[in-house]
């Protein structure tokens, strides 16, 4: 007979969980494993709220073969302070500032893992809502403690504020990785960023720090002033303005598309230079619209790549955090108490946040 969540492991843990696809979250007692020889245990201080948290608690990805399992403790933008380390841990000590992102395990033996691409391992283990190596459920960072293999833990530099750094563990690496991997990080290049939300705003910050010319691409002018004056984008392009779109045709080396809503891709392909790259990092719940005939018949000539990018490897995630620290990059956040969580989820569904909610776990999550 399966054990209840609070009896699966020896360490008592507490958080907030969704019990069904209504997405409503409430207090939840469960357990964590004892600190293994290669494990790092840390007290969670802050956890960002990613749009994928909202999708998963509502089981919106079931049609994409990612069915949600309940009870679910979300959260994969987790930062905190180390309280215990295993006997064979080499990289961390008690008191260190650490973080955990989208994964807590992989096979560590396939080609992807051998080449520091654990995020593409076929057996990668998400931080929550999945099954760990020992057959028990993984629970995320809307909770008081985490116990994670040190390989999947990153060090948070002292000069990065913990609350503003938390979203970088998903939103940050999800945008930093394709800029680096697809060679869109060279000074003087021109990169478009579609959507100015949790992902898009950090994409702008990273690209600008790399010396790239950045155009924010949006359906309206609502965020033009924000993009240009606050985030430092070089230009702003409104997709519904056909004159603007025509003038921008063939001018961009790459585009990072961060939008999670369903939308056509063909207009963006026309903005790319010869051999330009359109990289998808948003996660719409329905298939994207990508007409092939215009590509074949030369109506959009010489486009070489339409690709997707899924967060990043552990090596790359540490590099991203270190780059952020060097250039003073953090997410723009609204810090909330845990009991505001359901309201925050409702606001997130309406895109009513600038630009990332971060839960103050350390000061507001109480088990009684």
pLDDT for residue 284: 76
What are the CA-CA distances from residue 82 to residues 48, 66, 86, 155 (Å)?
18, 32, 11, 10
In the chain the first and final C-alpha atoms are separated, in Å, by: 29
pLDDT for residue 270: 87
Nearest to 57 by CA among 45, 68, 48: 68
* pLDDT-based confidence at residue 368 (cuts at 50, 70, 90): low
Task: Indicate the average pLDDT of the chain.
Answer: 93
Label the pairing between strands 11-18 and 25-32. Answer: antiparallel
86-101 pLDDT, tens digit per residue, is 999 999 999 999 999 9
The Cα 52–Cα 61 span in angstroms is 9
Mean pLDDT of 42-50: 98
Q: Angle at the Cα of 48 (from 3 to 175), degrees rounded to 5?
A: 115
206-241 pLDDT, tens digit per residue, is 999 999 999 999 999 999 999 999 999 999 999 999
Nearest to 341 by CA among 352, 357, 363: 357
This prediction has a pTM of 0.94
* Burial class of residue 173, CB neighbours in 10 A (0-12, 13-18, 19+): buried
Candidates 2.40.30.30, 3.50.50.60, 3.40.50.300, 3.90.180.10; CATH matching 9-168+332-364: 3.90.180.10
Q: Which residue has the tokens 């116990």?
A: 147
Say which residues have a Cβ less than 8 Å from residue 107's Cβ, sequence separation at least 6: 113, 121, 122, 123
For the cut 60, the answer to whether the pLDDT of residue 75 exceeds it is: yes
Percent of the chain with pLDDT over 70: 96
The Cα 366–Cα 45 span in angstroms is 12
* pLDDT-based confidence at residue 302 (cuts at 50, 70, 90): low
Mean pLDDT of 93-121: 96
CATH of domain 171-308: 3.40.50.720
For the cut 70, the answer to whether the pLDDT of residue 303 exceeds it is: no
Q: Which two tokens stand for residue 150?
A: 């040190």
The Cα 282–Cα 303 span in angstroms is 21
Instruction: Compute φ and ψ for 87, nearest 5 degrees.
Output: -65, -20
Q: Which residue has the tokens 């100015």?
A: 196
Mean pLDDT of 160-165: 98
326-360 pLDDT, tens digit per residue, is 999 999 999 999 999 999 999 999 999 999 999 99
Tell me where in the chain the CATH 3.40.50.720 domain(s) lie.
171-308
Q: ω before 355 within 30° of 0 (cis)?
A: yes
For the cut 60, the answer to whether the pLDDT of residue 299 exceeds it is: no
pLDDT for residue 118: 94
Q: Which helix (H) or strand (E) holds 138?
A: none
The Cα 354–Cα 341 span in angstroms is 16
pLDDT for residue 296: 60
The Cα 361–Cα 352 span in angstroms is 21
Tell me where in the chain the CATH 3.90.180.10 domain(s) lie.
9-168+332-364
Q: Which residue has the tokens 């409702």?
A: 346
Question: Is residue 321 within 8 Å of 165, Cβ to Cβ?
Answer: yes
* pLDDT-based confidence at residue 293 (cuts at 50, 70, 90): low
- In sign, the C-alpha dihedral spanning 281, 256, 329, 230 is negative
Instruction: Compute φ and ψ for 248, nearest 5 degrees.
Output: -90, 0
pLDDT for residue 279: 95
243-278 pLDDT, tens digit per residue, is 999 999 999 999 999 998 888 888 898 899 888 999
Q: How many C-beta atoms lie closer than 10 Å to residue 325's C-beta?
A: 18
250: left (phi over 0), alpha (psi -120 to 50) or beta: left
What 8-state DSSP symbol labels residue 49? Answer: -
Label the pairing between strands 78-85 and 97-100. Answer: antiparallel
pLDDT for residue 262: 84
**C-alpha dihedral, 158 to 78 to 207 to 187, nearest 10°:** 50
For the cut 80, the answer to whether the pLDDT of residue 169 exceeds it is: yes
For the cut 70, the answer to whether the pLDDT of residue 294 exceeds it is: no
């Amino acid at each position: 007979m399966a054990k209840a969540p609070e009896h699966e492991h020896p360490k008592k843990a507490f958080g907030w969980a969704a019990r069904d696809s209504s997405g409503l979250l409430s207090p939840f007692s469960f357990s964590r494993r004892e600190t293994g020889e290669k494990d790092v245990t840390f007290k969670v201080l802050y956890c960002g709220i990613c749009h994928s948290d909202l999708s998963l608690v509502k089981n919106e990805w079931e049609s994409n073969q990612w069915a949600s399992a309940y009870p679910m403790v979300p959260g994969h933008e987790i930062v905190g302070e180390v309280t215990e380390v295993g006997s064979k841990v080499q990289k961390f000590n008690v008191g260190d500032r650490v973080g955990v992102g989208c994964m807590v395990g992989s096979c560590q033996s396939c080609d992807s893992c051998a080449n520091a691409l654990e995020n593409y391992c076929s057996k990668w283990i998400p931080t929550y809502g999945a099954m760990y190596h020992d057959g028990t459920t993984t629970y995320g960072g809307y909770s008081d403690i985490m116990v994670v293999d040190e390989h999947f833990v990153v060090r948070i530099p002292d000069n990065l504020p913990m609350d503003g750094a938390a979203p970088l563990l998903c939103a940050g690496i999800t945008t930093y990785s394709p800029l680096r991997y697809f060679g869109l990080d060279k000074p003087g290049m021109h990169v478009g960023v579609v959507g100015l939300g949790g992902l898009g705003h950090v994409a702008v910050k990273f690209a600008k720090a790399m010396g790239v010319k950045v155009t924010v691409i949006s359906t309206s002018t609502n965020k033009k002033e924000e993009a240009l004056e606050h985030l430092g984008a070089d230009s702003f392009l409104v997709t519904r303005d056909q004159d603007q779109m025509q003038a921008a045709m063939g001018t961009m080396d790459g585009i990072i598309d961060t939008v999670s809503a369903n939308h056509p891709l063909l207009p963006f392909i026309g903005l790319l230079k010869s051999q330009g790259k359109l990289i998808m990092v948003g996660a719409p719940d329905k298939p994207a619209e990508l007409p092939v005939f215009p590509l074949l018949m030369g109506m959009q000539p010489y486009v070489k790549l339409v690709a997707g990018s899924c967060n990043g490897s552990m090596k790359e995630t540490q590099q991203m955090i270190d780059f952020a620290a060097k250039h003073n990059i953090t997410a723009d956040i609204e810090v909330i108490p845990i009991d505001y969580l359901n309201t925050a989820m409702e606001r997130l569904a309406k895109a009513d946040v600038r630009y990332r909610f971060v839960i103050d776990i350390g000061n507001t999550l109480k088990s009684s």
